[in-house]
Amino acid sequence: MAELQLQHEVEPEVLNGGDLNEEREGADTSESVKKKRRKKKKNKATAPAGTNEAEVDGEAGGVGDVMKQLEQQTLEDKEKEEDGEEDGDEGENSAGKKKKKKKKKKGLKGQTDPPSVPICELYPNGDFPKGEECEYPPSKDGRSAAWRTTSDEKRVLDKANEEMWSDFRQAAEAHRQVRSYVRSWIKPGMTMIDICERLEDCSRRLIKENGLKAGLAFPTGCSINHCAAHYTPNAGDPTVLRYDDVCKIDFGTHINGRIIDCAFTVTFNPKFDRLLEAVRDATNTGIKCAGIDVRLCDVGETIQEVMESYEVEIDGKTYQVKPIRNLNGHSIGPYRIHSGKTVPIVKGGEATRMEEGEVYAIETFGSTGRGAVHDDMECSHYMKNFNVGHVPIRLPRAKHLLNVINENFGTLAFCRRWLDRQGESKYLMALKNLCDLGIIDPYPPLCDTKGSYTAQYEHTILLRPSCKEVVSRGDDY
């Protein structure tokens, strides 16, 4: 546009060639007039008719300078024109601009490093990424479950619960981004307290912690080696992560009580790779086997078969990988991490069936020890009994502590570090009193034999009416 406007402005001067000759005879010989004359003669030289070749030849030395000036002016005009168009777009096409911004926010381009932007702000339209959607396994008599994916009735039921599925997906996306961040910096030599606090700080930011509406679902488990589950450091714990450690990172997020329970194992020494492969394969097998009307005992039998097919060689000794028989997966309810049903990882479990609309944490534990755990070490995990009624409390400190727990955690699990974070101190006697009364349940660390190694992988699955969604699935596992 700028170039076209410039040509239209100079054309009248080209047509009035005679007048220009007269003007030049009596013109002032100042520099400004000379420059104007050179520009006009340049334009005359480019005109197809009415040009004065003698005049152009006479001032050939100045034409080069004039051309440079014209090119510079043209570039400046073009830049101004483009700036004007951008300003115009902001005013006139503001709706279009907003649409473009929405598209940008829809992806993950807006996330920072380290992650700090809440997931709800990355996806302002509420369309959170779905997990891995799978067809349900065929029934025992060979009937396919593919009809569920095309059934209009099941699709309507799916949409009716869309708000619930969306809460799970938001919490799952926060979990994916946090664990990806943790993998980028976790290394030997770090204290377990530092690892847990950095992970939890990031998780709180991404989930946009808001009381009981959004936050952490349970304390970060970082059980090491023979300790399989329920260990998180208390204040003053000096434990340091080492190169030859097998560390299970198990943490949860929730939105409106819809909990994502997902775990993975971190190692630095490649000698443990086969152990991790066995447990990861067993977990994926359990996920594949799970589905509506599937018996829980069948899932456990399949998991055991896969896990025990692996052998691992560690420091010259060969071990069969054993499933830890007294650790299980479980159903998940609103604000309730263990909501009643257990998913065994060995054969011989309950014949109870999975049902439509339920949510499960499918987790497996593999061990080089005896394949069973017991309570050991100092307790750090606690959780209010979901079914407890009114219990009279005599100790004023215990009453106060229960109020703090109800206000900040409800029926979600918590740890002593989190009570410290709330400003509580000298609460151990009150906490013991609440445990003795059955209001709070302690969950001490669960350990196999010393010297053994344990690994864990876990995912949360949604048994939607139309399909099974592994909502916490990511590119990592």
Helix axes 428-436, 396-408, angle to 10 degrees: 80
- Choice among 167, 173, 261, 298 that is catalytic: 261
d(CA 241, CA 185): 13
The answer to whether the beta carbons of residues 206 and 118 sit under 8 Å apart is yes
363 is catalytic: yes
**Is position 8 annotated as part of the catalytic site?**
no
* 250 among known catalytic residues: yes
Q: Classify each residue of 162-201 as buried b or exposed e, where b means 16 or more C-beta atoms within 10 Å of its C-beta.
A: eebbbbbbbbbbbbbbbbebbeeebeeeeebbebbebbbe
- The catalytically annotated residue of 194, 338, 400, 441 is 338
Count other Cβ atoms within 10 Å, centred on residue 96: 10
Q: Which of 167, 200, 250, 358 is catalytic?
A: 250
Bond preceding residue 114 cis, omega within 30 of 0: yes
Active site residue 458: yes
Choosing from 330, 424, 448, 459, the catalytic residue is 330
Is-catalytic flag, 28? no
Of the residues 245, 301, 358, 363, only one is catalytic, namely 363
Chain-centre distance for alpha carbon 170: 8
User: Is position 448 annotated as part of the catalytic site?
Assistant: no
- Which residue among the candidates 173, 281, 458, 469 is catalytic per the annotation? 458
Report the C-alpha gap between 417 and 424 in whole angstroms. 10
Task: Answer left, alpha or beta for residue 31, where phi above 0 means left and psi between -120 and 50 means alpha.
Answer: alpha
The residues assigned a catalytic role are 250, 261, 330, 338, 363, 458
